[in-house]
């Protein structure tokens, strides 16, 4: 049994928007504290530039991938390969692999970029990816696989 779960373009945008929102909230908090602490002034143009930059980060990479990551040379942008022997995370063609028999823990953790699914093996190797990288059905499949791995 080998199952490849691939992130959809829409889910890519949702995941990217979530991460940017979390990071932007952190930046906004830091900027607000600095403004109040040092009595600094911000004009409206600076806010517009920041919003355009955020929109650029959220939208351009998925559009670029949709246009150029096609055909025979297409790489898996974000996916998980579940097999009887291993758990493999694929990000833009690069793989991270954990032996299924050595997985000791998986959990939802919070980091700078929001919720992440964290999977750890006996050697303390950890794979992390965004909680919203996959849709609800895909997350259920991944979670069921991981729960089954812990019971074996």
Instruction: Write down the pLDDT at residue 84.
Output: 93
Mean pLDDT of 97-122: 90
In this prediction, residue 120 has a pLDDT band, given cuts at 50, 70 and 90, of: very high
* Calpha distance 5→24 (Å, rounded): 29
pLDDT above 70 (res 152): no
Q: What is the mean pLDDT of residues 46-54?
A: 81
DSSP annotation string for 4-44:
EEE--HHHHHHHHHHHHHHHHHHHHHHHHHHHHHHT----H
The model's pTM is: 0.76
Distance CA 146, CA 121 (A): 11
């Amino acid at each position: 049994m080998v199952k490849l779960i691939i992130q959809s373009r829409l889910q890519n945008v949702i995941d990217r928007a979530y991460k940017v929102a979390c990071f932007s909230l952190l930046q906004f908090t830091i900027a607000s504290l600095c403004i109040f602490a040092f009595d600094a002034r911000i004009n409206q143009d600076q806010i517009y530039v920041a919003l355009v930059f955020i929109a650029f980060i959220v939208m351009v990479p998925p559009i670029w991938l949709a246009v150029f990551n096609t055909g025979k040379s297409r790489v898996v942008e974000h996916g998980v390969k579940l097999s009887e022997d291993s758990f493999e995370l694929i990000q833009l063609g690069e793989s991270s692999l954990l032996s299924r028999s050595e997985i000791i823990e998986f959990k939802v953790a919070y980091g700078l970029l929001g919720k992440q699914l964290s999977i750890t093996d006996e050697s303390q190797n950890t794979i992390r990816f965004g909680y919203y990288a996959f849709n609800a059905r895909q997350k259920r499949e991944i979670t069921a696989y991981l729960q089954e791995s812990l019971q074996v």
